[in-house]
Structure 1
């Protein structure tokens, strides 16, 4: 299965089929669905990002921080023990868990913080679910000298308490959101409300490839370093491109970061994994790509889990960072044109994957990343031994160990 890299360095950039148009639409998805008083501030961000993207000094500063502060490039690790245990394909893990702050989120948070400072903003504001985006943004804010305010659903504040402590130690103000389902969707609503009241003061640092234009493009661009590195690393290690990419999808930033550099490579199969929760037959899941329908959410047109009135449904996932009723519009577009496929795994499968990777490879993954590992466990044995899988290990599981320990105790049979 020898396969050469037919692309030059520059041609790893995806073509226009996979890029948003001037209005921020990926096919029928995306755009900026905003009230009039926010259209101007978002247009200002779009102009500022376009200028920063073309500014070598901005790009050099960001790349220097990624290298000297975050510790990039992150490792592409051959999971030999997991490969042997499962049989079938050779399994590589893109180790974003080894980044400073423990996840992929620092990649775009540094970019957003630098852009906010360039625009003259004083404060960063954002939502967080698992807390990794909040920690990364608080870290970036401390580094560049900006104030930081993080909104987090009350359920997630309790579930991810170590990350709340980290954010506060880094100087951020953490707002616990008690409304509605008290999870990620409500955190976004709350943060967006504060931003809407004072857009001149704040920069809304959206934590995924979601929201109004230009954020789906901007966050993807900042995260695309993951895929560019993985592409070069697998060519160096194996002499060819992978057969399959796998990454978890909530909003979808870690997945788009990995997928982007391979979109033009038709031989590379692309698979996103979303939360099946407690089962797709009920409402205790967040399987937006599987069961969602086109709609508007948080300033974008995308696929949404919604009721007949167009209101977002309550959602659930064992992983706080994935319990979101929408998805990045580029993911919706990639599915609509057949370039990527999306599947779901259950909470139980995710928990089993968390334990297996910990015991077999000595790597404790985030519950978000464990969704990707759960799909690897399903798929790898069905592939030939010379097939190659790259799974994005988007974050480490330190934040989840107390929650998982309590969950396992509750499931243990009575003595």
Structure 2
């Protein structure tokens, strides 16, 4: 999982499908990122911010009681314990530093569950930047707490009332807004989607998850490497960052999608939001709406590198239902005292199902990235549990 091929390609996926004004902006982002990523001063400054502001490294937590019940050894990479409550802060701090390096004073972002929006608002406040966050009206209703948090941090939250009023439409509006604001604004994409260099760049900023977990597993596990590495996938940034740390190992990768948003599992080749990847489409090639109880997985496609990993057979992509995810969230809360985000609960639901069916052999070691905490989902859980 290194750099993409020429023109930002992962096999037949990726690329830079954007209006000319954004092509030039993406070129500047790529040039700045390459220069910054090769600069020890930039890397050191980001590492310090991740440590003193975001709270890294995050722990690797053995799920003792649940492991005994399932007959496997389950370890949780605790991104829920970062400042702002999810893995999103890793990427946003990196992109916010890039924005200041480019002389941009405002961050534009899209958000579904609100965690990327909160992280963007947080980084903007920390670095003295402005922030404008686009969020689907439906997601604003079910993630009202995160909307309040963004506004309290000083961000402008723009409701998106078109289409399904969820993450896909928020992303479309954010990109349209960026077209007219490239001179003073940086678009802080929240996942491994979008035009080159975003899928690669966001994965590199999230690689800290996998790199930390790799060292922690080496110290914790007898074999040093888990049998399976599991993470939820919407666009797929937490999974891409986790997988990257284990790319040269025999660990088997499993990306878990929402049943109603399974781009990798059931998508077809198409172009959306600046990149070529796998998307849910109708017979006429029109993008269809996704659905998930987890707003962060309510996206009709998957990042191009995930599509490539699927084709290579390096990663499997499976789906779970809303009911399975809610049940997994409750089970983790009652066995380990951890309330996960509903996005993360999808990954756990597959672990529970696979252990019960024998797909995960008894005694298997499983590393699962717990990408976020469940505070934001309490209202939803109250209605469903």
TM tier, shorter chain? over 0.9
Give the structure 2 partner of residue 8 of structure 1: none
| CA–CA separation in structure 2 for the residues paired with 1:386 and 1:304 | 36
**Equivalent of 1:223, from 203, 206, 225?**
206
Q: Does 1:402 align with 2:385?
A: no
Q: How does 1:105-144 map to 2 (within 5 A)?
A: 105-144=88-127
SS at match of 1:224: helix
| CA–CA separation in structure 1 for the residues paired with 2:12 and 2:248 | 20
* Greater CA drift, 343-352 or 230-239: 230-239
| CA–CA separation in structure 1 for the residues paired with 2:177 and 2:184 | 10
What's the CA shift for 1:21? 1.4
Q: Is the contact between residue 262 and residue 301 of structure 2 (CA under 8 Å) also seen in structure 1?
A: no
SS at match of 2:376: helix
**Equivalent of 1:185, from 150, 155, 168?**
168
- Using structure 2 for the length normalisation, give the TM-score: 0.98
SS at match of 1:127: strand
- Using structure 1 for the length normalisation, give the TM-score: 0.91
Over residues 192-221 of structure 1, what are the superposed CA-to-partner deviations in whole Å (9 max), with x where a residue is unaligned?
111111211110000000000000011000
What's the CA shift for 1:385? 4.1
SS at match of 1:74: coil
| CA–CA separation in structure 2 for the residues paired with 1:34 and 1:135 | 27
Over residues 116-171 of structure 1, what are the superposed CA-to-partner deviations in whole Å (9 max), with x where a residue is unaligned?
01000011001000000000010011111100000000000000000000000100
| CA–CA separation in structure 2 for the residues paired with 1:407 and 1:237 | 36
Q: Does 1:377 align with 2:352?
A: yes
Q: Does 1:340 align with 2:315?
A: yes
| CA–CA separation in structure 1 for the residues paired with 2:282 and 2:304 | 19
Give the structure 1 partner of residue 17 of structure 2: 33
* Greater CA drift, 159-168 or 235-244: 235-244
Give the structure 2 partner of residue 49 of structure 1: 33
Q: Does 1:212 align with 2:168?
A: no
What's the CA shift for 1:386? 3.4
SS at match of 2:134: strand
What's the CA shift for 1:310? 2.4
What's the CA shift for 1:384? 4.0
Q: Does 1:65 align with 2:24?
A: no
- Alignment gaps of 5+ in structure 1: 1-13, 277-284, 409-415
Q: Does 1:293 align with 2:276?
A: no
How many residues in Structure 1 have an aligned counterpart in Structure 2? 382
What's the CA shift for 1:19? 3.5
Say what the alpha-carbon RMSD is for the aligned residues: 1.0
SS at match of 1:70: coil
| CA–CA separation in structure 1 for the residues paired with 2:96 and 2:283 | 38
**Equivalent of 2:333, from 350, 354, 358?**
358
| CA–CA separation in structure 2 for the residues paired with 1:19 and 1:332 | 15
| CA–CA separation in structure 1 for the residues paired with 2:112 and 2:341 | 13
Q: Does 1:75 align with 2:65?
A: no
**Equivalent of 1:245, from 210, 216, 229?**
229
Runs of 4+ in 1 over 3 A off after TM superposition: 383-386
Over residues 84-130 of structure 1, what are the superposed CA-to-partner deviations in whole Å (9 max), with x where a residue is unaligned?
1222x100000000000000000000000000010000110010000
| CA–CA separation in structure 1 for the residues paired with 2:3 and 2:313 | 15
**Equivalent of 1:273, from 235, 253, 256?**
256
What's the CA shift for 1:178? 0.7
What's the CA shift for 1:38? 1.6
Give the structure 1 partner of residue 129 of structure 2: 146
